[in-house]
Amino acid sequence: MEKVDIKSLTMEELKDFVKELGLESYRAKQIAQWLYKKRVSSFEQMTNLSKEVRKLLSEKAELHPLKLVKVEESSDGTRKYLFELRDGNRIESVFIPERGWNTICVSTQVGCPIGCKFCLTAKDGFTRNLTPSEIVEQYIAVQRDVGEERRISNVVFMGMGEPLLSFDNVKKAVEIMTNRDMLDLSTRKLTISTVGIVPGIERMAKEMNRVKLAISLHATTDEVRNYLVPVNRKYPISRIMEVLRKYPADNNRRIMIEYVMLKDVNDSLEDAKRLAKMVKGLPVKVNLIPFNPYPGAPFEPTPREKIEEFQKVLWDRNIAAFIRESRGQDISAACGMLRTKERGCKITEN
């Protein structure tokens, strides 16, 4: 009989699992405390459980701690991690220290099926979805590495993969992260980014609308977006805007519009005017993202002064627009770069 991946269980599922094992119901909270508060990596470390209970758990369930392949630290404190999964696939996570809080960017898939033209991860194609435990383990491994004095309060699902194409696994990971007896994070501090998978956005509106939504838009015409983000042919800009106008957002929980700035591709003042018109009336915040170039990249970053001109057009039309400061520029900053660079590197346990 296949063992249960215990960190892929929500609290309710963990309670049911404990009951099936014939254990007292309070054991579920005990186990959760060991897994998520004390962040142990084996059942043997759960010392307030009897040897018999620990043996039973090891026979019926399993833990899959990530293997740390490499970590790079930037001069600005950003730390980029490359982890190996139990099947040998590799994923990236990023720790981003901010003034007053800390953020982790997690991956949701091995590779990505979307194929955005400016993304290095897309060049490796798609392998599989991450399990809920593999998503949650990124938080646990990075928190363990940076230390409890630097508590990670914010999680952005903006790493490798398209979160809404792994909706059920992402939803379970969110439930584990926000459950009081598990990681106990605030739903207001979690953000899920999507290129515009309309059915997923509609499900988010019904099932996960307390989590913030970010839309990776990157273009203001279907012609340009079809090229940059090929899934636009299935879910064009007009369809995305239609579903966003029905989304339960407000000024306290605004939708984020992510817009990577590519020189002479999507950065004209006409683009800025179209973008302002497009999102008018929506509770949005626009993040203008300087492009992180990588070897062989087919694009160049938009010059800073031109990004500022683009930003001004939006502010002049009462659209909140911010330039996301590039982090980790002296390390493998682009998504997928560390994974690509470090194939075949020696592995160490985390």
Provide the pLDDT confidence category of residue 325 given band limits of 50, 70 and 90.
confident
Q: What is the mean pLDDT of the chain?
A: 92
- Token pair belonging to 68: 């740390």
pTM of the model: 0.91
Lowest mean pLDDT among 62-66, 212-216, 314-318, 342-346: 342-346
Residues 30 and 147 in one domain: no
Kindly list the distances between the CA atom of residue 326 and the CA atoms of 217, 301, 304, in Å, as whole numbers in the listed order: 18, 11, 11
Residues 30 and 125 in one domain: no
Distance of CA 280 to the CA centre of its chain: 27
Residues 57 and 97 in one domain: no
Question: Any known ligand binding at 345?
Answer: no
Supply the pLDDT for residue 333: 53
Which of 33, 112, 65 is closest to 335 using CA atoms?
Answer: 112
Residues 102 and 54 in one domain: no
Question: pLDDT tens digits, residue range 275-305?
Answer: 999 999 999 999 999 998 888 889 999 999 9
Supply the pLDDT for residue 347: 33
Q: Of the residues 43, 62, 81, which one is the last residue of a structural domain?
A: 62
Q: Of the residues 26, 42, 62, which one is the last residue of a structural domain?
A: 62
Provide the pLDDT confidence category of residue 335 given band limits of 50, 70 and 90.
low
Residue partners of 87: CB distance under 8 A and separation at least 6: none
Give the DSSP H or E segment for 168.
helix 167-178
Distance of CA 165 to the CA centre of its chain: 13
**Mean pLDDT, range 238-248, rounded to an integer:** 97
Distance CA 12, CA 322 (A): 40
Kindly list the distances between the CA atom of residue 304 and the CA atoms of 11, 240, 324, in Å, as whole numbers in the listed order: 47, 29, 11
Provide the pLDDT confidence category of residue 349 given band limits of 50, 70 and 90.
very low
Supply the pLDDT for residue 259: 97
Domain of 50, in residue numbers: 4-62
Question: Any known ligand binding at 238?
Answer: no
Phi then psi for residue 193, to 5 deg, are -105, 135
Residues 45 and 126 in one domain: no
Euclidean distance between the first and the last CA atom of the chain, given in angstroms as a whole number: 28
Q: Of the residues 17, 37, 62, which one is the last residue of a structural domain?
A: 62
146: pLDDT strictly greater than 60: yes
HSE of 197, CA atoms in CB hemisphere, 13 A? 16
Residues 73 and 213 in one domain: yes
141: pLDDT strictly greater than 70: yes
Distance CA 148, CA 145 (A): 9
**Mean pLDDT, range 301-330, rounded to an integer:** 91
Question: pLDDT tens digits, residue range 19-32?
Answer: 999 999 999 999 99
Residues 138 and 184 in one domain: yes
Residues 47 and 135 in one domain: no
Residue partners of 7: CB distance under 8 A and separation at least 6: 35, 63, 64, 132, 133, 136, 137, 176
Catalytic amino acids?
A: 92, 335
Domain count for the chain, please give it. 2
Question: Any known ligand binding at 292?
Answer: yes
Residue partners of 180: CB distance under 8 A and separation at least 6: none
Residues 247 and 218 in one domain: yes
Question: pLDDT tens digits, residue range 87-134?
Answer: 999 999 999 998 889 999 999 999 999 999 888 877 778 999 999 999
- Here the CATH number for the domain that contains residue 191 is 3.20.20.70
Question: Any known ligand binding at 116?
Answer: yes
Question: Any known ligand binding at 269?
Answer: no
Reduced to 3 states (helix: H, G, I; strand: E, B; else coil), residue 345 is coil
Residues 96 and 235 in one domain: yes
Question: Any known ligand binding at 162?
Answer: yes
Question: pLDDT tens digits, residue range 215-229?
Answer: 999 999 999 999 999
Supply the pLDDT for residue 344: 42
CA angle 250, 253, 254 (to 5 degrees): 75
Question: Any known ligand binding at 166?
Answer: no
331: pLDDT strictly greater than 70: no
Provide the pLDDT confidence category of residue 345 given band limits of 50, 70 and 90.
very low
Residues 233 and 294 in one domain: yes
Provide the pLDDT confidence category of residue 348 given band limits of 50, 70 and 90.
very low
Supply the pLDDT for residue 99: 87
Residue environment code for 259-285, b if the CB has 16+ CB neighbours within 10 A, otherwise e: bbbbeebbbbeebbbbbbebbeeeebb
Question: Any known ligand binding at 217?
Answer: yes
Distance CA 142, CA 121 (A): 21
Residue with token string 């008018």:
280
- Token pair belonging to 138: 């990124």
DSSP state of 234: T
- Here the CATH number for the domain that contains residue 53 is 1.10.150.530
Supply the pLDDT for residue 346: 36
Q: Which long-range contacts (CB under 8 A, 24 or more apart) does 73-80 make?
A: 73/331, 74/327, 74/328, 74/329, 74/330, 74/331, 74/333, 75/330, 76/327, 76/328, 76/329, 78/327, 78/328, 78/331, 78/333, 79/142, 79/145, 79/146, 80/328, 80/331, 80/332, 80/333, 80/338
Residues 125 and 270 in one domain: yes
Share of the chain above pLDDT 70, in %: 93
- Token pair belonging to 19: 């009951």
Phi then psi for residue 208, to 5 deg, are -140, 35
163: pLDDT strictly greater than 50: yes
